[in-house]
Structure 1
Amino acid sequence: MSVWPSIRGRWKQGWKDSTRGSLQQPQEDYEALRDRCLKDHCLFEDSSFPATQSSIGSGPLLQKLPPHLQWRRPPELHSNPQFYSAKAKRMDLCQGVVGDCWFLAALHALTLHQDILSRVVPLNQSFTENYAGIFQFWFWHFGKWVPVVIDDRLPVNEAGQLVFVSSTYKNLFWGALLEKAYAKLSGSYEDLQCGQVSEAFVDFTGGVTMTINLVEDPSNLWDVLTQTTYSRTLIGCQTRIGERVQENGLVDGHAYTLTGIRKVTCKYGPEYLVKLRNPWGKVEWQGDWSDSSRKWELLSPKEKLLLLRKDNDGEFWMSLQDFKAHFVLLVICKLTPGLLSFEVGQKWMYTMQEGRWEKGSTAGGRMKSSWQNTFWKNPQFLLSIWRPEEGRQSLRTCSLLVSLLQKPRHRCRNPKSRLAIGFYVFRVSKHYNDRRKLPAEFFWANAPLSWPEVFLKEKEVNQELWLEPGTYLIVPCASEAHQESEFLLRLFSRKHILYELGNNSRVVYSKEIVEQNEEQNEFFTKFFAKYPEINAIQLQKILNRMTWSSLGSKQPFFSFDACQGILALLDLNASGTVSIQEFRSLWKQLMLYQEVFHKQDSSRSGLLDWVQLQAAVMEAGIVLGDDVCQLMLLRYGGPRLQIDFVSFVHLMLRAVNMENVFQNLTQDGKGIYLQKPEWLMMTLYS
């Protein structure tokens, strides 16, 4: 146990009375509690989520716990504990005894986007500077970003090993602490048992999820994956219901993260591959394109070296055909609504409105054919929608995304207590300007344009609709009358106005959002439609066409030689060109390199010196020793031993490639053996 004294946290505001069926997130003042601990030379103890069985729960999870469970802080578990490290590989987390693979699958997708991860996980926290045993995380909780404060006492067994989420790097603890914060938000660790990837996606981002049923064998699945992985999305998937590990290595009823896609060139033609990760950190697919598959011999030596990694780390490749055969759901979380319909270069209006189904007044239930139908009593929202670039008279259809979320009715996250929810959409006369709710007679005489085929007991249900410009009525409801809950209605369209009808009728104001890099996305889409494979000249045109917003006035110029060098590093099948999938991977790396270069270029000279280069390389996830870093300045820098952005990009791409090759070939982390053709391929062509 720690020899430090402790201070117990107190709620500034408790939970709201649960008799109203509403949940109010309590608030703790992180900075005040931390400063108090530092002043009193003590470590924080969270009395609202104590280091006791009450925080774990009282259900089946208790049966999975080791005997003599203890709670320990990271400094008691490791001599050099770290909160987070950019040097570590992204996929470093492994699931514990809690059945929260859905949470881990979403979290692994989150790590692919550093900016989104840092919104949830403040990365400046540590066990050294201002350490007081207190940490803070942020979650999107029903329309608002809320902080969750915890202490760093974690459940361990007698050997000091973490019982729940752990890292393959034994001194990293950000994943375990984030899981604890999410358990606190949900009620307990027990409340994380069983869930949907989509639920965690929403809590991590506030984005909108779209679920594709793979059983229906969508013919455009590769196009969907190409569009989504090219943009800012998080992607998860799920296998068929069951409780066993199949002979092919897949786990029944299990959530996975989709971490990448790749079109490869085999001797017999193209093959479409997807890359997945098991949150367990082990147990992998054993079929075609698995680590031990002979299919890899069909690729060029370079492509095989850079894609195949023979580690039992839970990450593996499989063909798109096998993916559709063995997985049932694909969950895509979009951070910008236009990407749901793959439209680019547009502005969107976003509206969010809270509502309530209340017994005796607004809990009307679904539409029924009987005279006792109370459907009209549900909350009603009047929507006017049109295309802004063509005015109100345009007859072209408009894209509308409707998302309905229900709030939890109890203190703890309990999917079983959720209502089955959905929403109806009706067409209304454009001349309707009354602010009173439409009466029962309206619904007798008008059929809905859209209605729920099935009412789902999910946290969120959503649908994308294509509607003609005009006036519509949206009616969110539960499947049965007299069921109480609060809900959140979110709308996205090019342009709309929303009114809530009723006694307290009011305009629901919208805000405008703009898709990030909209002009660039539009350019990429058109360019690759014309050139599915691009050479060095076309790559140069693309890179010099882009606006590098973080670099200010020091806009880079990519020479033809530089583009030839970049293309050689990307060209896995040695064709002299790169595909849209290969370019997409490059573009994500360039966005990261732009940010770290700008951060270290404090003088805004457009150049980095030795100290700045070492810091930038480390922040981008590569560790170079002092001697190697100096050699890189001699190789890639100018006469004054300073490096510009284009040379920095070339250096980073080569460093990443060489590190991947080493990791793929080494058996013990100490060395590798290359045959002569492989050595010549890596040293001469790249």
Structure 2
Amino acid sequence: MSSRPWKKAPAHPPVFDSGTDTIREDCGATARPAMSLCPPLRGRWKLGWKDSMQGSLHPPQQNYEALLDRCLRNHCLFEDSSFPATQSSIGSGALLQKLPRRLRWRRPPELHSNPQFYSTETKRLDLCQGVVGDCWFLAALQALTLHQDIMNRVVPLDQSFTENYAGIFRFWFWHFGKWLSVVIDDRLPVNETGQLVFVSSTYKNLFWGALLEKAYAKLCGSYEDLQFGQVSEALVDFTGGVTMTINLSEAPGNLWHTLTQATYSRTLIGCQTHLGKEGVLKNGLVDGHAYTLTGIRKVTCTYGPEYLVKLRNPWGKVEWRGDWSDSSSTWELLSPKEKILLLRKDNDGEFWMTLRDFKAHFALLVICKLTPGLLSADMGQKWMYTTWEGRWQKGSTAGGRMESPRDTFWKNPQFLLSIWRPEEGRRSRSPCKVLVSLLQKPRHRRRNQKPRLAIGFFLFRMSKFYEDQRKLPPEFFWRNAPLSGPEVFLTEREVTRELWLEPGTYLLVPCTSEAHKEAEFLLRLFSRKHTLRELGSSSSVVFSKYPEINAVELWKILNHMTWPGLANAWPIFSLDSCQRILALLDLDVSGTLSVQEFRGLWKRLLCHQMSSKP
């Protein structure tokens, strides 16, 4: 994705200055007492998970509470040696040429007399892109701000520059099946005049956006690794949801209906323009650029109805100049009341355009759904899901696509999928909706260090119930054509497909386009009711799980488990006890347990059961 075209790259390399040892007030305010800097806290970090092929794929997992407590006790400011205020955190590529000559690292209290982490009173879309080409990240982030409850999970709002301030901040990202805490210090890159070089806010004393971008850069490896990307990637990292990408040149006839359902549901929506080399076009749009879809509106004009979409440029400026732009005469076609309600003549990067122009000038529409049912008629129904981590290993499970020699395709991981019709719909003859998501994990700690593989998956129908635990042999694939397969293998991080399947047994085979290519993957399945198991694996059947578990569901789950030595004591847990357990563990007061919270409870119950054995 493109960055600001009017930023002229300097011919000289930047000089890095990590800052001073005390907090300064450069805005004429009363100076604060100086605080020393904390030396690195050694021996207390849990290293990132190791990958046998490329080493650590994740930043070190740091104990935020322990680091904060240590800094407060020692009256010092945190310095993160795992993502230091040096060039190594910026990167070593073309981004260096966009930086000011003397790049400094400063903390927010050094940049403003009244710094604030976040304010609920300010405009939601207040962020502006810096010199990093991460408009895809900013477009997703601005979509996140439209859902305060979802944002609170990513951005803990109990952080500030006053109470318990120690120069340390924490953010949460969904990273390949797990929610990761990313800890950073608050030293930010600025130019000679103290202006933020990367993400900034239109409110100069707000810094949550700049700090979140730094945390995401740490997760991806460096600021350089935020250059170029797809808005779908960041949307998934913010929510753990599933993305649906619509090619607007082939948009379905019910696109407005889809947008209406998405806008008024818990979805995050972004879009991208066509790739090009012109930068800012005459119509005000930017080539190869990501935008946030912030709203839709059906209006009544003098000639009839018009369908409008509202978009925002992450730059915080440069807007559409066509019909229904801020200065367009088409606004005179509306009633004065509706014009006053919708039109805002501000150069803030936000603008309206018709759905017709949107389809003509934009390439992709990306909708991130927190549950698969949001865009269908059964959106009120309960969905279940399964996740499975796997690997394509050279010499064993990296079999490649079906067009490769047929004696290798069968070596790919094979998953037996059983689809059942929900009990309330057993008599229905309609197919069941199944959403399959295949994510490939990065093959290097740095996001842009190694290109992604082209991935996809095939689905086969099993003619009879299969009880054997062994993988299906090559002969099966010679004799059976796939029910579904990729038209094109994609080098995307995630490949998602919505399927409508009759109840029965299927074989799911994720693969790469070429044999002998190694990578790890995460397979996610969503349906109303299913089970999944890997053939040739020692793992048992994995039953689908509810994304959120309430007290009644918790009572059913716990009382249907097999407890050694207590087989005749059913039910073990009363509904009242399950409600009490939920109250103790439901930290976000949502009335439900997340899968992560349930896993923690399950482990504790198993440990208690084992320790209580005679």
What TM-score does the superposition give when structure 2 sets the normalisation length?
0.82
Q: Which residue of 1 aligns with 2:420?
A: 386
Q: Which amino acid aligns with 2:281?
A: Q
Counterparts of 1:652-667 in structure 2, within 5 Å, are none
- Find 1:240's aligned residue among 274, 278, 283: 274
Q: Which residue of 2 aligns with 1:307?
A: 342
- Find 1:298's aligned residue among 333, 339, 347: 333
- Find 2:471's aligned residue among 431, 437, 440: 437
Cα deviation per residue 1:317-355 (whole Å; 9 max; x = unaligned)? 001111011001000000111124342221111100101
Q: For the structure 1 residues 16 and 146, does the alpha-carbon distance in structure 2 shift closer, same or farther, using more than 3 Å as the test?
A: closer
- Find 1:485's aligned residue among 519, 524, 533: 519
Q: Which residue of 2 aligns with 1:425?
A: 459
Matched, 1:356 2:397: no
Say what the alpha-carbon RMSD is for the aligned residues.
1.7
Q: Which amino acid aligns with 1:151?
A: D
Q: Which residue of 2 aligns with 1:318?
A: 353
Q: Is the 8 A contact 1:401 1:462 kept in 2?
A: yes
Between Structure 1 and Structure 2, which shows a larger proportion of helix residues? 1
* Separation in structure 2 between the aligned mates of residue 442 and residue 511 of structure 1, nearest angstrom: 30
Matched, 1:261 2:306: no
Q: For the structure 1 residues 436 and 393, does the alpha-carbon distance in structure 2 shift closer, same or farther, using more than 3 Å as the test?
A: farther
Q: For the structure 1 residues 42 and 432, does the alpha-carbon distance in structure 2 shift closer, same or farther, using more than 3 Å as the test?
A: same
Tell me how far 1:436 sits from its aligned partner. Answer: 1.0
Q: Which residue of 1 aligns with 2:213?
A: 179
* Separation in structure 1 between the aligned mates of residue 435 and residue 247 of structure 2, nearest angstrom: 19
Q: Please state whether the residue corresponding to 1:257 is helix, strand or coil.
A: strand
Matched, 1:472 2:506: yes
Matched, 1:63 2:97: yes
Q: Which residue of 2 aligns with 1:46?
A: 80
Structure 2 gaps of 5+ residues are 1-19, 23-34, 551-589, 591-614
Tell me how far 1:368 sits from its aligned partner. Answer: 2.0
Tell me how far 1:104 sits from its aligned partner. Answer: 0.1
Tell me how far 1:429 sits from its aligned partner. Answer: 2.5
Q: Which amino acid aligns with 1:509?
A: F
Q: Which residue of 2 aligns with 1:615?
A: none
* Separation in structure 1 between the aligned mates of residue 99 and residue 41 of structure 2, nearest angstrom: 27
Counterparts of 1:514-525 in structure 2, within 5 Å, are none
Q: Is the 8 A contact 2:404 2:515 kept in 1?
A: no
* Separation in structure 1 between the aligned mates of residue 431 and residue 543 of structure 2, nearest angstrom: 23
Tell me how far 1:369 sits from its aligned partner. Answer: 6.3
Q: Please state whether the residue corresponding to 2:317 is helix, strand or coil.
A: coil
* Separation in structure 2 between the aligned mates of residue 69 and residue 503 of structure 1, nearest angstrom: 53
Q: For the structure 1 residues 503 and 281, does the alpha-carbon distance in structure 2 shift closer, same or farther, using more than 3 Å as the test?
A: closer
Counterparts of 1:660-679 in structure 2, within 5 Å, are none
Q: Which residue of 2 aligns with 1:31?
A: 65
Q: For the structure 1 residues 335 and 173, does the alpha-carbon distance in structure 2 shift closer, same or farther, using more than 3 Å as the test?
A: same
Q: Which amino acid aligns with 2:408?
A: T
* Separation in structure 2 between the aligned mates of residue 311 and residue 167 of structure 1, nearest angstrom: 16
Q: Which amino acid aligns with 2:36?
A: P
Q: Which residue of 2 aligns with 1:654?
A: none
- Find 1:501's aligned residue among 535, 547, 557: 535
Matched, 1:133 2:167: yes
* Separation in structure 1 between the aligned mates of residue 245 and residue 537 of structure 2, nearest angstrom: 37
Q: Please state whether the residue corresponding to 2:151 is helix, strand or coil.
A: helix
What TM-score does the superposition give when structure 1 sets the normalisation length?
0.73
Tell me how far 1:461 sits from its aligned partner. Answer: 0.3
Q: For the structure 1 residues 408 and 78, does the alpha-carbon distance in structure 2 shift closer, same or farther, using more than 3 Å as the test?
A: same
Q: Which residue of 1 aligns with 2:27?
A: none
Cα deviation per residue 1:252-307 (whole Å; 9 max; x = unaligned)? 00000000000011111111000000000000000000000011111111111110
* Separation in structure 1 between the aligned mates of residue 239 and residue 208 of structure 2, nearest angstrom: 18
Q: Please state whether the residue corresponding to 2:546 is helix, strand or coil.
A: strand
Q: Which residue of 1 aligns with 2:36?
A: 5
- Find 2:365's aligned residue among 327, 330, 335: 330
Counterparts of 1:159-308 in structure 2, within 5 Å, are 159-243=193-277, 244-308=279-343
Q: Which residue of 2 aligns with 1:412?
A: 446
Q: Which residue of 2 aligns with 1:650?
A: none
* Separation in structure 1 between the aligned mates of residue 50 and residue 241 of structure 2, nearest angstrom: 29
* Separation in structure 2 between the aligned mates of residue 193 and residue 277 of structure 1, nearest angstrom: 20
* Separation in structure 1 between the aligned mates of residue 221 and residue 272 of structure 2, nearest angstrom: 25
Q: Which amino acid aligns with 1:101?
A: C
* Separation in structure 1 between the aligned mates of residue 392 and residue 386 of structure 2, nearest angstrom: 19
Percentage of identical aligned residues: 78
Q: Which residue of 2 aligns with 1:582?
A: none
Q: Is the 8 A contact 1:498 1:509 kept in 2?
A: yes
Q: For the structure 1 residues 204 and 415, does the alpha-carbon distance in structure 2 shift closer, same or farther, using more than 3 Å as the test?
A: farther
Structure 1 gaps of 5+ residues are 517-594, 596-686
* Separation in structure 2 between the aligned mates of residue 196 and residue 429 of structure 1, nearest angstrom: 39
Q: Which amino acid aligns with 2:399?
A: G
Q: For the structure 1 residues 393 and 219, does the alpha-carbon distance in structure 2 shift closer, same or farther, using more than 3 Å as the test?
A: closer
Tell me how far 1:97 sits from its aligned partner. Answer: 0.1
Tell me how far 1:505 sits from its aligned partner. Answer: 4.3
Q: Which residue of 2 aligns with 1:101?
A: 135
